[in-house]
Each structure stands twice: as structure tokens, then as C-alpha cells.
Amino acid sequence: MTGLAELLKTQGASVEAEDDFEKINKLYLERGWGDGLPIVPPTAKRVEQMLAYCDRPWNESIAKMAPRYGEATPLRLAANAVMAGCRPEYFPLLMLAIEAMCEEPFNLYGVQATTHLCAPLVIVNGPVAKELGINSGHNAFGPGTHSNATIGRAIRLALVNIGGAIPTQGDMSTFGAPSKYSYLVAENEAASPWEPLHVERSFPQEASAVTVVGAECPHNVNDHESITAEGILTTIAGTMGIAGSNDVYYAAQPVVVMGPEHAKTVAAGGYTKADAKRFLQEHANLPLGKFSQENIERRFRVTFKEKYATAGPDALVPMVQRAEDIIIVVIGGAGKHSAYIPTFGATKAVTRALKRKDGQLARSVEEFRRS
């Protein structure tokens, strides 16, 4: 019996089960310990191997995960990482993402328990993205890349098993969304004409970082005709005009994902990220008359009464309150597409960088492990 197995047994934290893949999966499915897909049985040996990249005591709480406020310890996270099919070297990034989404501004309780269909989106920047092979190009939001799929799935399993986001119990989402299985990508920094997201958010270029956003699924922006920055930005702004978006009513931080081709055209037109954000904030709007009369009376004339108390149907309603709140990232491969990702609204993006034990930035997971 390994040291971990002994620890689990003394704490009553292990489950005795026949060493049979089908039977173990049946047991986990019956107890609601998963996402509906087959899991890798989290044996003591596999969990201990996952913890090889852990930098703190296995039973030390990293954070409390809403809505249940379960203690996210490395041991518990490692079990979920094994279930998801993660490799041990992915584990530091999993811990980092969990820490980020448990910070108060993110409002994990709201993101987890709402009837809205949001899920935590994780955007990875820096050397760790290349080191772990995290997809930032073609099909970045889709299947096919082990690191994207399994780290994202491990986060979801932890949200369910530790946080208590069990459908119809802790998770009250009316529809749910495919993003609730796995939602992790890297920014395509090599194809971006601008500074990467983590640099924009005050971290050095060499840092390895994650940014978490309480987000909907991407909404495609198709523009194969525009050849100017203003043309592409106008199309994106038009896509942002959604009457049913939560972001309309909050100081929200929606995400604009520019495909590399669109980003190149916008930058070639002389636009910095800040310029593009100002254009989008100014042009992404809807006339008040596009909203139902009930919403006008109960939302706009109450929440924004100074602006809309006597406003007519042609008064413009911005989709984003402040230009600086728009998050712009470059992701994807070839093709004249971008994407718009609205959010839960009552949530703030949080960015955290990977650090060594001495508090200095870890540029890679191997440097993190050696520290």
C-alpha cells in the first residue's frame, strides 16, 4: 500500500471497488461523480502520480468552490484530474485556474448556480501554452487536443464534485451548454499583431498565466467581404447587438475573439487594441425600441433611470458600458471569422500567473516543478 493509499484509508476518503473499468464507471455514474462520460478510475497510484507536480501539502485547501463551498485540496483536484484523463504535467495549470475562478470578483457562486448557460472559460497565455501543447489555432474551441480537452474537463469535474454544480441541484442552468464539458484554449500569440492578454493585464511577456471568464459559448462573426479595419469592426459590433444579453445590464467584460486574418486587417488599419475597443463600444448598440416594453419599464427605467427615464425608442443602448471592459484575444487558424463571447454579466475576469515556491514567476511547469 502506498503512502497516499494509507492516508486515504485513515481519513475514510477512499472507496473500495472491484478493479474493473465497467463496474467502477457504473459506480461513479450512479453516485453522480462525473459528467456523464466514462472516467479514468482514480486509483491511489494514479492520483499519487498526478501529485508529482504539486507544490504544497496534499490536504491543504487551495480554495473553497461554490456553491457547496467544498475545499479544493490538491488531493481532491488530482482525483478529478485523473478522472478527466490529464497528464501529471497539466496539474499546476489546473490548480492555477481553480484558484483564479475562486477569487471573489469572478463570482463563482453566480456562474455555477445561475439559470444562465455560462461556464468558466479559461484562456492560457505564455510559455506554458506551447509547453503543454494547448491549442490556440484551428479548432481551438473544439475537440482533438488532449491538453485542452482534459484540463478543461478536469475543471468541470472539480466544479461538480467539489463545488457541487450538480444539474438541478447546485447547477440550475435552464439549458446548459457544450462548454460545461470543457472550455479551455490558449491565445494564438504568434499570430497576434498586438500584445497578448496577460501582458495587457499587467503581467510580463515571459509569464505563464490563465484568465478565467464566466462566459457563454462563442457566437460566430462571418465577414469575408470587409477589407478594412472599420468594416470588420462594424460587423463584429453588429454581432454584439443582442437584446437578450446579460451584459447589457452590468459593467460586464465580454470577449471578442478575433481570428488571425481579421486581427491582421484591423491592426493594418492602424488600430491598437484600445482603438478597437473604443470603436466596438461606440458602435455595438441597439435602439431602446428593440427591447420589450416590459424590459424598458422594469429594467431600463429603473436600473438606468437617469438615462432612459424619458428616452424614446430611438435612444441607443450600449452593449458594453465601458470600452476598456471589452476583452480582445486572437485565437484560431486561417479563415475570415471572429467570434463574440457574451458573459454572465455579474462576473469579472481574473488573471493569475504561475509562480514558484519563492514567489517568483514560473515560466514553465517544469520550472514550477523544480522549484
Mind listing the pLDDT tens digit for each residue in 11-64? 555 677 777 899 999 999 999 999 999 999 999 999 999 999 999 999 999 999
Q: Which three cell numbers stand for residue 175?
A: 439549458
Confidence label for 7 from pLDDT (cuts 50, 70 and 90): low
Cell 511577456 sits on residue: 205
Decide: helix, strand or coil at residue 118: coil
Query: pLDDT at position 106, please?
Result: 98
- Asked whether the predicted pLDDT for residue 119 surpasses 90, the reply is yes
Cβ atoms of 163 and 250 within 8 Å: the answer is no
The mean pLDDT of 240-257, rounded to a whole number, is 96
Cβ atoms of 254 and 339 within 8 Å: the answer is no
pTM, to two decimals: 0.95
Q: How far is CA 105 from the centre of its chain?
A: 14
Query: pLDDT at position 17, please?
Result: 72
Confidence label for 1 from pLDDT (cuts 50, 70 and 90): very low
Find the angle CA(248)-CA(238)-CA(262) to the nearest 5 degrees. Answer: 120
C-alpha neighbours within 13 Å on the C-beta side of residue 72: 32
Using CB atoms within 10 A of its CB, is residue 311 exposed (0-12), middle (13-18) or buried (19+)? Answer: middle
The mean pLDDT of 120-126, rounded to a whole number, is 98
The whole-chain average pLDDT of the chain stands at 95
Query: pLDDT at position 371, please?
Result: 85
Query: pLDDT at position 14, please?
Result: 64
